[in-house]
Amino acid sequence: MNNRSIIHVDMDAFYASVEERDNPSLKGKPIIVGGSLKNRGVVTTASYEARKYGVHSAMAIYKAKKLCPEGIFLPVNMAKYKEVSIEVHNIFKRYSRIIEPISIDEAFIDVTGKNPFFIAKNIKRDIKNELNLTASIGISVNKFLAKLASDLEKPDGFTVIRQEEAMEFLKPLPIRKLWGVGPKTEKELNRMGIYTIGDLQDYDIKVLVDRFGKKGRELSYFSKGIDNRPVEIDITTQSIGEEETFKEDISNVEILDHKLKEYSLNLSHKLELKGYLTKTITVKIKYEDFSTETRSSTLYIPTDDYLAIYNVSSSLLKNKFSFDKKVRLLGLTVSNFIYPNDPIQLSFHTK
């Protein structure tokens, strides 16, 4: 185990909360942010009041309307959310230089050597006082436990998982709470008799490695509260990406396209915070039969603009993939980074 102090900050129902803040008449009402009711859009974020009706992100708008007929449906205002997100991250920078943005509304902050409880309370206070928003915060010795902690008492939560209590804390939780366990992996683990994290703690790691490879070792470590990954602040030599394994295989291209828009916003935000532009955009699809395809474009002009990233990825999705099989996983990656003042070599390549 390491002796790090890691904070995970997760804004509560971010898009919906920003809309409620900017229009107080919406307070306490079921807000659903996403595509228009006139087309086949999907939900981006739902307020906690809307979630009580079963509405969740990536759900088709028409279905959300059926579940929550009194819902207030609002269009996505990406520019506004991005601006607020920058304000949130500026608050983080007061307390640490080691910050890893995960998406537009969450981040890891390494405060090793400082008082994590004091810093976390200050972050919550600053976000509330200055931005009139709430965040749920988790504190622990590593990224996995900190992220898990932030999810346990939403909204406006503050949860600490101490190193010495991690094993017992994790034991009764369902196996799907482990980082990296999606619906398919959960079913495979269930077939092995593993239903709780405690079941996995007691399982022979050799069997897990034989079954899942490197991921089996990682899952075993996570089940014991072990996660040695550092908070990443340098993206110059790597790619950054967003991907998701869906609860159910998807055949609707519109839903996939909506997910790319969400990923594009998150990746644009990460690039902007680091001060880099990307030249190469890659879309990855894993089909229901586990076959995988990737398609990439290298841009004439490097960018950190979310619409540019989205437009390229959407074009790749719609023109470079065949959808005769359902989609199990969708991913979007940006790479080939430069500084804005680097010399630019113009090129374009699609494969």
Residues that constitute the known binding site: 10, 105
Q: How far apart are CA 129 and CA 121, in angstroms?
A: 12
Residue 106 bears catalytic tag: yes
Burial degree of 308 (CB within 10 A; 0-12, 13-18, 19+): middle
CB atoms < 10 A from the CB of 24, how many? Answer: 9
Closest among 14, 34, 158 to 86, alpha carbons compared: 14
Per the CB < 8 A criterion, the answer to whether 134 and 128 are in contact is: yes
What is the Cα–Cα distance from 170 to 59, expressed in whole angstroms?
A: 30
**Catalytic residue selected from 49, 100, 106, 262:** 106
Handedness of CA 224, 156, 265, 68 (dihedral sign): positive
Q: Which two tokens stand for residue 289?
A: 């039969």
20: its two tokens:
């409620």
Residue 257 vs residues 73, 102, 306, 314: alpha-carbon distances, Å: 20, 20, 14, 6
Mark the binding-site residues for Mg(2+), compressed into ranges.
10, 105
**CB within 8 A of 160, min separation 6: which ones?**
117, 138, 139, 140, 149
> Dihedral angle at the C-alpha atoms of 187, 189, 195, 200, nearest 10 degrees?
-160
Describe the strand order of the beta sheet including 106-110 as a list of residue ranges. 99-103, 106-110, 6-11, 135-140, 158-160
Residue 55 tokens, joined: 């509405």
Residues taking part in catalysis: 106
